[in-house]
A and B are shown apart, each in its own frame.
Chain A
Amino acid sequence: MDKDVFSLCFMCSVRCPIKVGVKDGHVNWIQGNPHVAGIDGRLCPRGSAGKSLLYDDQRLQSPLIRVGDRGSGNWRKASWEEALDYVGTRLKEIKNTHGGHAIALGERAQLATHVSKTFLKALGSPNHFTHDALCKGSMNTACRSMFGYTDGQMGINYANTKHIVLYGRNIFESINVKEVNTLMDALEKGAKLTYIDPRVNVTASKAHRYWMIRPGTDLALNYGLIHVILKERLYDAEFVEKWVHGLTDLRDFIKEYTPEWAETETGIPAGEIKALAREISREKPAVIFHYGYRCASHQNEIYMRRSILMLNALMGSVEAKGGIFFKKGPGAEGGKPARKLTEQEFPKIEVPRFDKVGTPDFPLPDPAHGVAQILPYAILNEDPYPIKALINYRLDPLMSIADTSGTKKALDKLDLIVTIDINYSDIAWYSDVILPESTYLERTDCVQQMNGLKPMMFLREKAVEPRYDTVEGAIILKRLGERLGIGAYFPYETMDELVDWQLEGTGFTREDFAQKGFVSYGKSPIFWDRNDIPFKTPSKKIEFRSSLLEDAGFPSFPSYEPPAATPEKKFRLVVGRTGLHTHISTQNVPYLNELMKENLLWINKEKAADLGITDGATVEVASACGKGWIKAFVTDLIHPEAVFMVHGFGHEAKLAKRSYNQGCSDALLQENLYDKVGGSPAYHDTFVTVTPV
């Protein structure tokens, strides 16, 4: 029987709405949901490879229990009963001996995150963490310090912008379909694009202005821009007067950071910095200084992100058409959001988190996400207490946290490592038990609350039955919970029952999603009155001078410290993404692997010539914590102080045969350094040598 199913993609974390064609129980077509504006049937390369993932026989097919050494790849197949009993028994022992807090669970946040948070809360553990801090923890903190909202509560109105500035935000290669299309439409209507990055990429090739900035100096550039904007009074005086707290402090602070000074740091001519400030101010407030997505490059990341937000505030482009805005939830339309299991009452937890977030040691990062890169330190040093078990849910600490060798050392101290995944990720390979999850095409999932200018809800609907012996994550955790005496926190037997429970009280039912795949709370986009913006900071203003920072003992305006000088014969390792792969998770998908099997090391032509490196030659890249081999891409399209590689290659899981040992893993080379104020890793603060082999 043929049918069309509206659902949500999950080849990356964006979750674009899709329409899946099913024939005789098989997926035979996937396209973007034609009813969603900005999607209009479109789908990116990863989404287009959904069928290639579904019908790949190299993905996980049944629960597995390790029989040899960790990482040796010796497994025995187990039934679900056996695998869950095995994990349940061990978790119970650990909980009884060391307390619930000895169990940690890390995940890449997703629709069932409220289920895994419930699982840990019910066990009495505060140690749920997500991948978010690894991606953008400092940006989250920066946004809260400035507006009182998290980055997740903010959006960007590309459609109406007249000039957008991107700092390494490679929109046309990270590919969020709606974002790409709304920005493309704005460009078509005449919007200007300024792109800043030490390396050229597709987004740079679409820009009206491209600056090959010296790596690590974006903050200096922004200080130069702010200097010009204040000195020449290019800012939106009315907006700034009404809403900015701390303009005088900024004015005093910025005096010494002239565009001429910025030129010496960044390599960008002062005249060009002035020209951008003047040009963009003419279009205010319909301008965007993009605050970034993956914002985890340097140890002073939070101040770089704050400087971007200040530029937006100075342009008045906050809660403005063509600028940045705050997302509206169902409440704005008098509606109610879908329920979450976390609304239940849980036993009180007295111990701090493993990462000490929320304590005076690490006060500012968002406890809703925690700080993942602290995990290896917490385990190794048993600080603040011993962690004994780790559940990895779609998150691979080995390839996502810097310094893989250090992370392995920490994992070796654990009594139990369990992974819930769809593929042989490297962490699955290093686990004691693998619990395979059904793919997004084979499962119904929890409700997606989509806040924005128009609050909506979306659903991921099962398109086909699971091909293998796999189960939905929310059911895996429920069944595990039953074995640990916390089954009552999971009041459902099936995903359908869980979705119905979530929708209770929203005024919508499952049937309302059938026609288009989503429901809307209202009809028109909502912008708040710019004279009445409900900022959630203590001053109710945009805090250039931040009480969040200063109350925690950090300055609002620390003196600029230049990035560490690049040592002789070394390079700053810079990493990024490609449109063909998602982080570490798609390298083994047949169609995506066919188009990109390995990553390359971008190296500047003149530097390569000095080192005797030719294009296509294999080189050894080495840092203080690891080394790897990779082919060189010799080019004049990268700054001489930097080398670049795409993140997520160099897999160690042998049964993911296409991606095994292809390319080089960036995490193997990166040192586990981080922003001690904002919380994100400093992935670009590692220096490497490059040697021909």
Chain B
Amino acid sequence: MSQYYLFQDSKKCIGCHACEIQCKTNKDLPEGPKPCQIIQVGPKFINNLPKMSFIFMPCFHCENPWCVSACPTGAMQQRASDGIVFVQKDLCVGCKTCVSACPWGAPQWNPDTGKVEKCDYCKDRVDQGLEPACVTTCTTGCLKFGKVEEMTQIRRQRHAESVASLENSSF
């Protein structure tokens, strides 16, 4: 598993798709490939209130990535230093084996180059001490990038506040 984690604070996400656009802008991609994508579920009424979910789907940078094992040319690789999974473009022959192998639909097809594109956590930016493009400009700041152990804190904090709601509880 990569040492990084990309956390989506779904309570603050407004499903605006700025992450997708910023990602494509940063990678100069044509129409088609979306290395990250927001999938909207709902809205539907739950307890008389309309609710929507926006599920953020980048690459999960698996510990034993199906795509890397499947790639016949060695184009799909995992960085030893931090576990980021990426495509070495000049080795990709467009065979789509990684597309078939990935259970999450992360590898994306670029019709202009006939090669695969995927989320690499913007490793060029990460190497400069910056955050991935999607995180840097996220409209509400609901995307956060960092070490896994730091990311879970937001959910714990919020859960604590909601169970200890001072209006309706004995806390």
Q: Nearest Cβ distance between residue A163 and chain B, in whole angstroms?
A: 13
Q: Chain B, 115-142, contact with A by CB distance < 8 Å: what is the 0/1 string? A: 0000000000000000000001111110
Q: Nearest Cβ distance between residue A29 and chain B, in whole angstroms?
A: 7
**Of B17, B26, B43, B44, which is within 8 A of A45 by CB?**
B17
Q: Chain A, 36-50, contact with B by CB distance < 8 Å: what is the 0/1 string? A: 000011111101110
Main secondary structure of the interface of B (DSSP, over half): mixed
A-B contact pairs, 20 of them (CB 8 A): A40-B141, A42-B139, A45-B16, A45-B20, A45-B21, A47-B18, A48-B137, A52-B21, A172-B14, A173-B14, A173-B16, A180-B139, A184-B12, A200-B50, A207-B49, A579-B17, A591-B21, A591-B25, A595-B20, A637-B45
Determine whether the beta carbon of B139 is less than 8 Å from that of A175: yes
Determine whether the beta carbon of A595 is less than 8 Å from that of B17: yes
A590 at the B interface (CB under 8 A) = yes
Complex Cα distance, B27 from A342, in Å, reads: 45
Determine whether the beta carbon of B22 is less than 8 Å from that of A43: yes
Determine whether the beta carbon of B16 is less than 8 Å from that of A49: no
Determine whether the beta carbon of B14 is less than 8 Å from that of A43: no
Determine whether the beta carbon of A45 is less than 8 Å from that of B24: no
A210 at the B interface (CB under 8 A) = yes
Given contacts A45-B18, A175-B16, 5 further A-B contacts (CB under 8 A): A42-B141, A48-B22, A205-B42, A595-B17, A637-B45
Determine whether the beta carbon of B16 is less than 8 Å from that of A41: no
Q: Give the residue among B15, B20, B51, B139 with the most A Cβ atoms within 10 A.
A: B139
B31 at the A interface (CB under 8 A) = yes
Chain A residues with Cβ below 8 Å from B17 are 45, 579-580, 595
Determine whether the beta carbon of B31 is less than 8 Å from that of A637: no
Q: Nearest Cβ distance between residue B37 and chain A, in whole angstroms?
A: 10
Which residue in chain A gives the minimum CB-CB distance to B48? A210
B52 at the A interface (CB under 8 A) = yes
A387 at the B interface (CB under 8 A) = no
Chain A residues with Cβ below 8 Å from B44 are 637
Contacting residues of chain B (7-63) with chain A, CB-CB under 8 angstroms: 12, 14-18, 20-22, 24-26, 31, 42-45, 48-52
A161 at the B interface (CB under 8 A) = no
Chain A residues with Cβ below 8 Å from B18 are 43-45, 47-48
Q: Which interface class (under 10, 10 to 19, 20 to 34, 35 or more) fits B?
A: 20 to 34
Chain B residues with Cβ below 8 Å from A172 are 14, 16
Determine whether the beta carbon of A184 is less than 8 Å from that of B140: yes
Complex Cα distance, B138 from A32, in Å, reads: 10
A2 at the B interface (CB under 8 A) = no
**Of B26, B51, B139, which is within 8 A of A177 by CB?**
B139
A69 at the B interface (CB under 8 A) = no
Shortest 10 CB-CB contacts between residues of A and residues of B: A205-B52, A48-B21, A45-B18, A200-B50, A43-B137, A172-B14, A579-B16, A48-B22, A31-B137, A48-B18
Complex Cα distance, B45 from A208, in Å, reads: 13
Question: How many positions in chain A have a CB within 8 Å of any CB in the partner chain?
Answer: 41
Q: Chain A, 143-178, contact with B by CB distance < 8 Å: what is the 0/1 string? A: 000000000000000000000000000001101010
Determine whether the beta carbon of A49 is less than 8 Å from that of B25: yes
Q: Give the residue among B17, B43, B45 with the most A Cβ atoms within 10 A.
A: B17
A552 at the B interface (CB under 8 A) = no
Interface on A for B, CB 8 Å cutoff?
A: 29-32, 40-45, 47-49, 51-52, 172-173, 175, 177, 180-181, 184, 188, 200, 202, 204-210, 579-580, 590-592, 594-595, 636-637
Q: Nearest Cβ distance between residue A601 and chain B, in whole angstroms?
A: 17
Chain A residues with Cβ below 8 Å from B21 are 45, 48-49, 52, 591-592, 595
Which residue in chain A gives the minimum CB-CB distance to B14? A172
Determine whether the beta carbon of B43 is less than 8 Å from that of A200: yes
Determine whether the beta carbon of A181 is less than 8 Å from that of B50: no
Chain B residues with Cβ below 8 Å from A204 are 43, 50
Q: Nearest Cβ distance between residue B159 and chain A, in whole angstroms?
A: 14
A181 and B140 in contact, given A204-B43, A579-B17 (Cβ under 8 angstroms): yes
Complex Cα distance, B44 from A181, in Å, reads: 25
Determine whether the beta carbon of B140 is less than 8 Å from that of A42: yes
Complex Cα distance, B25 from A210, in Å, reads: 36
Complex Cα distance, B92 from A455, in Å, reads: 54
Q: Nearest Cβ distance between residue A582 and chain B, in whole angstroms?
A: 13
Which residue in chain B gives the minimum CB-CB distance to A209? B49
Complex Cα distance, B48 from A370, in Å, reads: 43
Complex Cα distance, B137 from A47, in Å, reads: 10
A42 and B51 in contact, given A49-B21, A172-B14, A595-B17 (Cβ under 8 angstroms): no
Chain A residues with Cβ below 8 Å from B24 are 591
Complex Cα distance, B52 from A237, in Å, reads: 40
Determine whether the beta carbon of A51 is less than 8 Å from that of B52: no
Complex Cα distance, B49 from A207, in Å, reads: 8
Determine whether the beta carbon of A44 is less than 8 Å from that of B16: yes
Chain A residues with Cβ below 8 Å from B139 are 42-45, 175, 177, 180-181
Which residue in chain B gives the minimum CB-CB distance to A658? B31
Determine whether the beta carbon of A48 is less than 8 Å from that of B25: yes
Complex Cα distance, B136 from A48, in Å, reads: 11
Complex Cα distance, B13 from A181, in Å, reads: 11
**Of B14, B42, B45, B50, which is within 8 A of A579 by CB?**
B14
Chain A residues with Cβ below 8 Å from B43 are 200, 204-205, 637
Q: Nearest Cβ distance between residue B56 and chain A, in whole angstroms?
A: 14
Chain A residues with Cβ below 8 Å from B15 are 202, 579
Complex Cα distance, B95 from A271, in Å, reads: 64
Q: Nearest Cβ distance between residue A194 and chain B, in whole angstroms?
A: 11
Determine whether the beta carbon of A29 is less than 8 Å from that of B42: no
Complex Cα distance, B129 from A617, in Å, reads: 50
Complex Cα distance, B22 from A47, in Å, reads: 9
Complex Cα distance, B24 from A579, in Å, reads: 17
Determine whether the beta carbon of A594 is less than 8 Å from that of B31: yes
Q: Give the residue among A41, A173, A591, A637 with the most B Cβ atoms within 10 A.
A: A591
A41 and B14 in contact, given A48-B21, A204-B43, A591-B21 (Cβ under 8 angstroms): no
**Of A31, A49, A181, which is within 8 A of B136 by CB?**
A31
